[in-house]
Amino acid sequence: MSIFPASLPGGTWTLGDLTVTRFGYGAMQLAGPGVMGPPADHDGALAVLREVVELGITHIDTSDAYGPRVTNQLIREALHPYPEALHIVTKVGATRDQQGGWPPARQPEDVRRSVHENLEALGLEVLDLVNLRIGDAQGPRPGSLDEPFEALAELQRQGLIRHLGVSNATAEQVAEARAIAPIVCVQNLYNLAYRQDDELIDELAEQGIAYVPFFPLGGFSPLQSSALSTVAARLDATPMSVALAWLLHRSPNILLIPGTSSVAHLRENVIGAGLSLSDEELAELDKIGQ
C-alpha cells in the first residue's frame, strides 16, 4: 500500500484558468552551488523532477536565471513533452553575472528577450505563468514597475504568456501591476518566522489571487528554529513538515514551492505538509513569527 495520500496536502488552487496542486515544487535547488552551473548529480536532478510528476504535483516554479538556463533545461530533459496537467511557472526581471550575482534585467527589451529564452529553454510555445521579479536580493524595493510589467502584458496580449504575476514586490507594486493587467499570483519571501506580508496575503485571498512564499523552509533565527523544533518534536514531526503544514493552514491562497535536490526530501515534504495542526498548535506556532 502506498504511504502517499490519494490527493496532495492542501488540494488544488486555480491560477486564472489553470488548476494546480497547492503543493508545488521549486526548482532552484537543482542548479549547482550558488544556483550557478550544472548540478553535481545530473541524473539525480532528473529523478527529482520525474518524482515531482509521479507524486501528482502539477506546479513547478523555475527561472531561466537558475544556472542560468540549467533548471529550465533539466525540466525540459526530464519532462518534455509535458503532461497536460503540469504547469510551469517562470520569472523574468533578473539575470546572472560572472560572480553569481543577480543584476536586474528589467528594461522592456530584457523582459522580451527573457520570455523568448524561457520559451526556448523549456520547449514551449506559450508560458503558463510569468512573474516579474523586482526588488533586489535584500527584498522588495519601492519604485514603479510600470515599464517592465507593461512589456510583459504586451507579450501576454501577443499570446506568448497565459497569466502574469509579480515577485519580491511591495503591496504598492502589486496594486500598480493590477492596474496594468490582471495578476494571478504574488511570489514573495514569507514563512513561519518571516511574516511581513500577513496583511497582503489576506487581501489577495479576498481577491482570489494566490500567494506563493519563497524560502518556505529557510531563514529562521536560532531562537525561532529551536521554538519550531520544540513544537515539531511534540508532534513527532520534522520542523520542515511543521513549517509547510503551517503555511497550508495559514490561508487557502498559499501555494507551496519548497525546493529540494533530493527525492527523499521531496517525499518527506509531501507527507509532512499533510500534518494536521490544532488551533492551539497554530497559536503556539504563530508566536514564533511575532
- Applying CB under 6 A, among 55, 145, 257, 270 the residue interacting with ligand NAP is 257
- Applying CB under 6 A, among 70, 217, 232, 237 the residue interacting with ligand NAP is 217
- Applying CB under 6 A, among 16, 258, 275, 281 the residue interacting with ligand NAP is 258
Main-chain phi, psi angles of 214, to 5 degrees: -95, 160
Least distance from C-beta 7 to ligand NAP, angstroms? 20
Grid coordinates given for 168: 519580491
Is residue 26 a contact residue for ligand NAP (CB under 6 A)?
Answer: yes
Other C-beta atoms within 10 Å of 107: how many? 12
Residue reference for cell 550558488: 34
Q: How far apart are CA 10 and CA 1, in angstroms?
A: 22
- Applying CB under 6 A, among 9, 10, 148, 216 the residue interacting with ligand NAP is 216
Least distance from C-beta 260 to ligand NAP, angstroms? 3
Is residue 261 a contact residue for ligand NAP (CB under 6 A)?
Answer: yes
End-to-end CA distance of the chain: 41
Among candidate residues 80, 135, 108, the one with its CA nearest the CA of residue 116 = 108
Least distance from C-beta 279 to ligand NAP, angstroms? 26
Q: Number of H helices and number of E strands within the chain?
A: 10, 9
Among candidate residues 287, 201, 192, 205, the one with its CA nearest the CA of residue 245 = 192
Is residue 269 a contact residue for ligand NAP (CB under 6 A)?
Answer: yes
Is residue 28 a contact residue for ligand NAP (CB under 6 A)?
Answer: yes
Is residue 218 a contact residue for ligand NAP (CB under 6 A)?
Answer: yes
Q: Collapsing DSSP states into helix, strand and coil, what is residue 162?
A: strand
Grid coordinates given for 55: 507524486
Least distance from C-beta 168 to ligand NAP, angstroms? 5
Query: Does the active-site annotation cover 190?
Result: no
In this complex, which beta carbon is closest to ligand NAP, that of residue 201 or of residue 217? Answer: 217
- Cα 60 to chain center, whole Å? 8
Among candidate residues 104, 81, 93, the one with its CA nearest the CA of residue 130 = 93
Stretch that binds ligand NAP, among 3-11, 75-83, 221-229, 261-269 (CB under 6 A): 261-269
Active site residues: 66
Provide the binding-site residues for ligand NAP, judged by CB under 6 A: 26-29, 61, 91, 133, 167-168, 187, 214-218, 240, 257-262, 265, 268-269
